[in-house]
Each structure stands twice: as structure tokens, then as C-alpha cells.
Amino acid sequence: MTQENRPPLFTAKSLRIFTKIVAIYAAFVILTVIAQVISKPRSENPLAPSNAYMPIYVYAGLHFIFGLINFAVIVSKRYNWFVPSLSAIVLLTYRLYYDDLALWVWSWS
């Protein structure tokens, strides 16, 4: 394939797909957190601290906020590269540094 025949990477279609992927990822993480909290309640483990799930709640809350923002972009059909790119960067950064951020969240209480 020559340079003239290659489709551009940053098209409107790729932007829509990227926004939907970020929104679906956020929804998946929220469902995973809900399933984890339901399947492993803190009351079953008496040695668990009272704030054991606080980092997971912050994690799910952050995904909920960015998921709502991306779903709003999808519903309004006002796509831009800034919103899903920022969402993906923040969500992946939180995922990569989860242990450090969990310690920081636990230090709140």
C-alpha cells in the first residue's frame, strides 16, 4: 500500500470508535467493581479494615464520571479528540498507579 492509498488514521469514524471504547471500558470497570463488592463483602472478613474498599470506590467513581462524560459525547454526537483522549490517559494512569493511589486514598481516613 502506498502513501496515497492509506486511509488517514485520525478520521471521524476512528474518533467515534475510540470514544465508544473508552465509554465501554468505563462501564466494564464499574460492573467489575460492583461484582467484586457483592461477591466479597467486607463483613465476611473480620480482619479487613473499615476502609478496605475505599480505593475501589474511588476507582469506580472516577470511571463513572469519565464514563458519563463519554456517553454524553456519544449521545450528543459532538465528538472531539480532547475528551476521550483525556479520559483514556487519566483512567490508564489510575490503573497503572493503583497501588500508590490506594495508599494515598487510605491515608485520607
> Between 82-96 and 12-39, two packed helices, what is the crossing angle to 10 degrees?
40
- For 72-102, write each residue's pLDDT tens digit: 999 999 988 899 999 999 999 999 998 998 8
- For 16-64, write each residue's pLDDT tens digit: 999 999 999 999 999 999 998 888 777 777 777 777 788 888 999 999 9
Decide if 72 contacts 17 (C-beta within 8 A). Answer: no
> Where do the domains of the chain lie?
13-38+50-106
Q: How far apart are CA 27 and CA 8, in angstroms?
A: 29
C-alpha cell at 69: 462524560
C-alpha cell at 90: 487519566
Residue whose entry in the numeric block shows the C-alpha cell 471521524: 12
